[in-house]
Amino acid sequence: MTSKGEVFIEPGTVINNYIFNEQIGSGGYAAVYVVTSIKFRTKFVAKVLLPCDNDISHAWKSFDTEVSNLLKLDFPHIIRMYEYFAESNRFFIILEYCSNGSLFDYVNTYGPLSGHKLINITHQLVSAVQYAHSNCIAHRDIKPHNILMDEFGRIKLADFGISIFLANEPNCFNFKCSPAFAAPEILSKQPHNSYKADMWSVGVTIYFIATGQYPFHSTKIDKLLNEMKEIGVCLNKYHYHPLIYTLLLKTIQYNPQNRISIDEAFDIIKRCSEETTIRKISSSVSSKMLLPKHSAEKLLAFHLGRRKLSFDKSKATFPPQKLGSS
């Protein structure tokens, strides 16, 4: 078996009619490649799990979880799975290719989002989480790193490796997480409502893409929990659209019972999007209704020119008469 950190698949390798082009990410026993389908001549992404001997059960569980949950989801802002298979103790998930990388990379390269772009991206994210929750799936690892952008700038919520299907019981006893974006009840290893935990992660993600910073800065779990509980998130209400500010305020709540649901979050961001659209339309219509500014001399010259044109037309004969004709 291959050890962790080793390059899993050489570029140019063909597996199951996919040509492996380049590795674009890795972590733990998984790696992500850009691949080209020989059949469709189209780029896809292959997520490959190649565990060590002592990790194979965990890898299989992650593979089974991601595949099972993605099969239940079909939404424009959730990554689409096209195929999955196993080969030589390796597990493969073929996903749509998002050429613009992650939202984390975008913010680090171009800076925080603001205005209509922030509202639009937030709307897409909240709608994706709402769709997942409506299908009894909590993502459990929402963060800018797991939000991809396609060639048109549309986002795709990805990496459902630790997601959970909650048919009847929303409580979860799994504490695997990304600490900077995880809810305090996960960090403190308490049984928790995974839907409510997702809402915390949504809020922290929106905060990050709006500011380019993390709301909490401690790196040790105990200090991070203390910062979350005793200090809380610092929000400048004048930095955001009022409804974005409300969304942040109501999601980044230490007590999960005080966090809004995804449906309430969707109502807020929908109103925000509608207000922004109405303002843009109103502004566009108003600008088109404004008459061009001209000087008095130009207006007078234009008026006299029209009068002259009218006079000349009235004297013209159609068709023109020949000279000497009666």
The CATH number of residue 91's host domain is 3.30.200.20
Residue 164 maps to which CATH number?
Answer: 1.10.510.10
Q: How many domains does the chain have?
A: 2
| 3-class secondary-structure state, position 165 | strand
Whether 320 is in a domain gets the answer no
CA dihedral sign, ordered 295, 301, 302, 307: positive
Domain identity same for 212 and 163: yes
Domain identity same for 231 and 263: yes
Whether 289 is in a domain gets the answer no
Q: Give strand pairing partners of 199.
A: none
Domain identity same for 88 and 128: no
Smallest Cα–Cα separation from 233: which of 104, 242, 122, 247?
Answer: 247
Domain identity same for 45 and 111: no
> Quick check: 18 and 37 in contact, CB under 8 A?
yes
Domain identity same for 31 and 60: yes
Burial label for 104, CB within 10 Å (0-12, 13-18, 19+), is middle
- As given in the structure block, the two tokens for residue 240 are 């955001």
Domain identity same for 147 and 235: yes
Q: Which of 53, 55, 141, 150 is catalytic?
A: 141
For residue 257, count other CB atoms closer than 10 A to its CB. 7
Smallest Cα–Cα separation from 186: which of 161, 214, 221?
Answer: 221
Tell me, rounded to whole angstroms, the distance of Cα 315 from its chain centroid: 69
What's the rounded Cα separation, in Å, for the pair 159 and 47? 9
150 catalytically annotated = no
Domain identity same for 91 and 139: no
| 3-class secondary-structure state, position 140 | coil
DSSP type of residue 254:
S
- As given in the structure block, the two tokens for residue 142 are 């929402």
- As given in the structure block, the two tokens for residue 229 are 């509980």
> Quick check: 180 and 150 in contact, CB under 8 A?
no
The residue among 79, 96, 113 that closes a domain is 96
Instruction: State which residues form the domain around 79.
Output: 14-96
Q: What is the pLDDT along the chain (326 residues), one digit of tens a residue?
A: 444 445 479 999 999 999 999 999 987 778 999 999 999 999 999 999 877 666 677 778 889 999 999 999 999 999 999 999 998 889 999 999 999 999 999 999 999 999 999 999 999 999 999 999 999 999 999 999 999 999 999 999 999 999 999 987 777 778 888 999 999 999 999 999 999 999 999 999 999 999 999 999 998 999 999 999 998 888 887 788 999 999 999 999 999 999 999 999 999 999 999 987 765 555 554 555 554 555 556 655 655 555 544 445 444 444 444 434 44
pLDDT at position 169, please?
73
Domain identity same for 73 and 160: no
pLDDT at position 294, please?
55
Is 315 flagged in the annotation as binding?
Answer: no
Smallest Cα–Cα separation from 87: which of 63, 61, 70, 117?
Answer: 63
